[in-house]
Structure 1
Amino acid sequence: MIRTVEVREARELLDHLLPLIASPWLYVVVFAIVAIDGFIPAMPSDPVVIGLAALSASGPPDVVMLAAVVITGGLAGDRVAYLLGRTAGHRVRNPKLVMAKQKAERALRRHGGGAILVGRFLPYGRTATAMTAGSAGLPPSRFTLHTTLAAVAWATYAIGLGRLGGETFARSPLLGAAFGIALGMVIGGAYTLVERRRAKTAAEEPEPELVASGRR
């Protein structure tokens, strides 16, 4: 989901990317943005991808190439976060990431690797679930399976929102990009409200132990 504090930064990034809109270098930059967002969750990849997808409805970039770099960038960033979790997950100090990591631990206890798919759509959830999977000893094969599903699902979601905005405002690509980003924020806000209500109920439930061997 889109983190609202990053929308301004995303707009600035889009402004810088527009001169590259027809250049192959655009895909290299998008790959880097999506990958880095996997282990440094201050990089606003969500609105950038949505905005570029909206522009693709009426011209470049090529939507197939965009989808390819978003998925591969997602896999690369998740792998780095997983390895960081295995080696230094206990050293996390960022308050928001610590809170997200605690939620990820509870989700992994309940749902195993499937929590990676859900976490991909939550603020800080992508980094938290990948790092927690690494520190909890989730087998690499299971992590790869679930992170691949998560990368494909998120790329479909983000590019789909962008294309919807681009098709809706075909004569104004930038307005279409803004519409797609705004729609993503609305969806993210609604989901957050639902999760908060659900968390109040789940907080009193006993949590099963996370047994790494049971997730193989």
Structure 2
Amino acid sequence: MLDRLMPLISSPWLYVVVFAIVAIDGFIPAMPSDPVVIGLGALTATGSPDLLLLALVVIAGGMTGDRIAYLLGRQAGHRIRNPKLIQARQKAEHALRRFGGPAILVGRFLPYGRTATAMTSGSASLPRGWFRLWSATAGVAWAVYALGLGRLGGETFIESPLLGAAFGMAMGMVVGVTHFVVTKIAARRRPPARVEPPVREPVTSGCPTP
């Protein structure tokens, strides 16, 4: 199977496809980029695709997708109807108010978190330069994480790159499930939050004033 995939893996068009997938994942979460990036990270152990070039493409795609989500949030963030995105946006707004920029970094690793924090940053009219800085930081961190998991699998199963890719994706799923379980347990032990009236002023915590 790997022999059949090699022409695609060795093609420059692969980087274009990866860029598009990672970018679109920023504002359409239904297209998960994690398994693609982790799987290709495992294949870099064979020498193709190039790890450094792949990392640069992943970071660039991530920043592009974040930028589009930011603009969408600025223009039409209040029109979101997807229940999961609405819930994620509410959590993102709370996190941005409390933690500022680091919330964008953490959100990059959570389901719907990347889209929610980017759109919320846009709808709250956070400074674009400030958002780009944290988007770039989150993109680099996520690229290191995803490609690192894949490369670990590829090096572990150097004789079977596809098995290495599967191993890397399995490790990613373990990390995700562990985070989900820990979050649920912590939420159950946390006392009920006091209901407060909605705050309408723009988010300013942890970031400069526009």
Q: TM-score, normalised by structure 2?
A: 0.90
RMSD of equivalent CA atoms: 2.1
Structure 2 residue aligned with 1:40: 28
Cα separation, 1, equivalents of 2:192 and 2:12: 48
Q: State how 1:85-124 maps to structure 2 within 5 Å.
A: 85-124=73-112
Question: Which residue of the other structure, out of 193, 206, 209, is the alignment partner of 1:204?
Answer: 193
Structure 1 partner of 2:16: 28
Distance (Å, rounded) in 2 between the aligned partners of 1:132 and 1:17: 39
Do the aligned partners of 2:44 and 2:154 also contact (CA within 8 Å) in 1?
A: yes
8 Å CA contact 2:96–2:203 kept in 1: the answer is: no
Q: 2:5 and 2:164 mapped to 1: Cα distance?
A: 16
In structure 1, which of residues 53, 59, 76 is the aligned counterpart of residue 41 of structure 2? Answer: 53
| Alpha-carbon displacement from aligned partner over 1:122-173 (angstroms, at most 9, x marks no partner) | 0011001100011112111111111110000000000000000000000000
Match for residue 138 of structure 1? 126
- Note if contact 1:86-1:134 (Cα within 8 Å) is conserved in structure 2: yes
The one-letter amino acid paired with 1:100 is A
CA distance in 1, matches of 2:45, 2:22: 21
Distance 1:113 1:202, change over 3 A: farther
Percent sequence identity over aligned pairs: 68
Measured in 1, the distance between the counterparts of 2:67 and 2:154 equals 32
Task: Give the Å deviation of 1:197.
Answer: 2.6
SS at match of 1:57: helix
Give the unaligned 5+ runs of structure 2: none
Q: Which amino acid aligns with 2:180?
A: T
- Listed as ranges, the matches of 1:175-214 within 5 Å are 175-200=163-188, 201=190, 203-204=192-193, 211-213=202-204
The runs of 5 or more residues in structure 1 that have no matched partner are 1-13
Q: Deviations over 1:39-96 (max 9, x none)?
A: 0001120010000010111121000110000000000000000000000001111121
What displacement does 1:192 show?
A: 1.0
Structure 1 residues 90, 48: CA separation in 2 closer, same or farther (over 3 Å shift)? same
Task: Give me the whole-angstrom Cα distance separating, in 1, the residues matched to 2:177 and 2:154.
Answer: 22
